Structure 1
C-alpha cells in the first residue's frame, strides 16, 4: 500500500505511550502535533490533558479527525489546522509532539527551531535522526547536525521498525527529543550563521576558504575580505566537517554586517 502524502500512521500503542511520556507533563499545555493522521497520538495527548493544535495536510483526514474528535473540538481542547506544516502559520504552542512526514523533516525541523518551543518529541527516519545527532567536528556531521545542535540538545530515545506503522515504511524510524538551549557561542546574526553553515556544507569537499569564495553572491565583498584577513590560514584550509560550532560562529560573525 502506498502512503498518502508520505504519511505512515503510527499504530503501536506501546510506542504511543512512550512518546507521550517523553513529552513530560502535558496537563493544560498547548501541544502542536504535525501530521496527526487518524488521531492515535492525538487521542493519547488529549488523554494526558494537553490542549492540542493538530496540523494536517490531507483534507480527507481533516474531515475524519473533525468527526472523531467533535466533542474535544467543541470543548476547545483540540484545534485542527488544514495545511502544509512547511508553510502554514502555526498557532501558539509550547510543546511539539509529532510523527513527521519524512520527506519534509528538515524544513519542518528548522521552522520549529525558529518558532521556539519548550521541548519536542519527534519521529524521524532513523538515518536522518542519526545525522542530526552526529558529533559536530566529525566526518558524520553535516548542516543538519550543526544547525540543530547549535540551538537544541538532541536525544535519540528509541527506534521503531516498519511494523509499528500502517502502511509500513521501507526504513526504520527513531524518536528524538529536542530541548532548546541558547547557542553555546555568540552569534551576531543568525541568518548569516545559517548561510555560512549551508554554503560550506553545500561544498563539503572544498576548504573553508574555497567554499566561501564560491559564495560571493551570498556574502558581501568587504565582509569576505575581512574574514580572509582575520581568519588563520590553518582554519581556512580545513573542510566544514572539521569545524567546531565555535569556529562556525567565528566565521559567521566576521561575515555579519558591521555596525558603523
Structure 2
C-alpha cells in the first residue's frame, strides 16, 4: 500500500518496539495519531495499552478495522476517522505517535493546549532540533518558545530514512514531551501565544518594530501602551535573543494594557 499524503510508514520493527516501550502504557489510554498500517498500534496493544487511533485516510481506517476487529470488539482499541488537527478527541493520558511532518506543528500546539501526562512523538529531525533550540541561536523560533514554555523536551531516538517506507528525504527524531507549568507567570495564554507569533512573524525586526507590525492582532493603542511600559534595551533586541521570561513580560504588558 502506498502512503497517503506525507505519511511514511515505520517498518523498522526494532524502532517500533523501542518507541512503544519508552513509556509504561499498560492500562493507560494512549492516543496514537496517524497509525498508518498499525505496526505501532499493535506494539502498544501488546503492552496493555487502551489505544485511541486517529487516522485521516478512509482506506487505512478500513484496513485497520479489519486487522484489529477483535481488539475493537474487546474495547481495547477505538479508531477515529478524521483530521487530528480538528477532530473531537476523547480523554487520553499519554500520546505515542509518528506524526505526519506537514502537520507536526499544529498538532503539537493542539496537544499542549489539551494536556497530557507524557508524549513520545516522532518528528522530522530539523523540526525537533528547533523545538529544543535555546534563545540566541539561529534555530530558535515560535515553536521553540511555545514548546519550552509548556513542556520539557528530550530526544530519545534518531532514525534514518531506511526505517520507513516510502523513505523520506530526511532523518527523524523521536522525542519525549513532559508538560510543566510555565517557568514564569503568564497572565493570558492566548495573548502570550499571539505575542510570540507576532514577534517571530517579524523576526528580523526589533521587538519594538515587530510589535508595531502586529496591529492586526493587537489594537495600536494597546501596542503603544505596552511599548511605553517595557525596558528600552528589550525593545531594541530581536525575538531570537529573548528569554522565556522576557516573552512573558511582553505578553503580560500587552494583556494588562488591553484592560
Answer whether contact 1:26 1:50 (CA < 8 A) is retained.
yes
TM-superposed deviation, 1:230: 1.4
User: Which residue of structure 1 aligns with residue 17 of structure 2?
Assistant: 17
After superposition, where does 1:218-257 map in structure 2 within 5 Å? 218-257=217-256
Which ranges of structure 2 fall in alignment gaps of 5 or more residues?
A: none
TM-superposed deviation, 1:192: 0.5
Deviations 1:19-74 (A, max 9, x none): 1121x221110000000001000000001100000000110110100010000000
Which ranges of structure 1 fall in alignment gaps of 5 or more residues?
A: none
- In 1: Cα distance, 2:167 partner to 2:232 partner: 50
Normalised to the residue count of structure 1, the TM-score between the two structures is 0.96
Q: Structure 1 residue 51 and structure 2 residue 45: aligned?
A: no
Runs (4+) of structure 1 exceeding 4 A deviation are 257-260
Q: Structure 1 residue 112 and structure 2 residue 114: aligned?
A: no
Secondary structure at the counterpart of residue 176 of structure 2: strand
Secondary structure at the counterpart of residue 256 of structure 1: helix
- In 2: Cα distance, 1:29 partner to 1:258 partner: 44
User: Which residue of structure 2 aligns with residue 202 of structure 1?
Assistant: 201
Deviations 1:82-141 (A, max 9, x none): 001111111110100000000110101000000100000001011101011111343320
User: Which residue of structure 1 aligns with residue 73 of structure 2?
Assistant: 74
Answer whether contact 2:99 2:123 (CA < 8 A) is retained.
yes
User: Which residue of structure 2 aligns with residue 163 of structure 1?
Assistant: 162
Answer whether contact 1:223 1:254 (CA < 8 A) is retained.
no
Count of aligned residue pairs for this structure pair: 259
TM-superposed deviation, 1:221: 3.2
- In 2: Cα distance, 1:116 partner to 1:145 partner: 18
User: Which residue of structure 2 aligns with residue 151 of structure 1?
Assistant: 150
Normalised to the residue count of structure 2, the TM-score between the two structures is 0.97
- In 1: Cα distance, 2:170 partner to 2:138 partner: 23
User: Which residue of structure 1 aligns with residue 186 of structure 2?
Assistant: 187
- In 2: Cα distance, 1:248 partner to 1:257 partner: 14
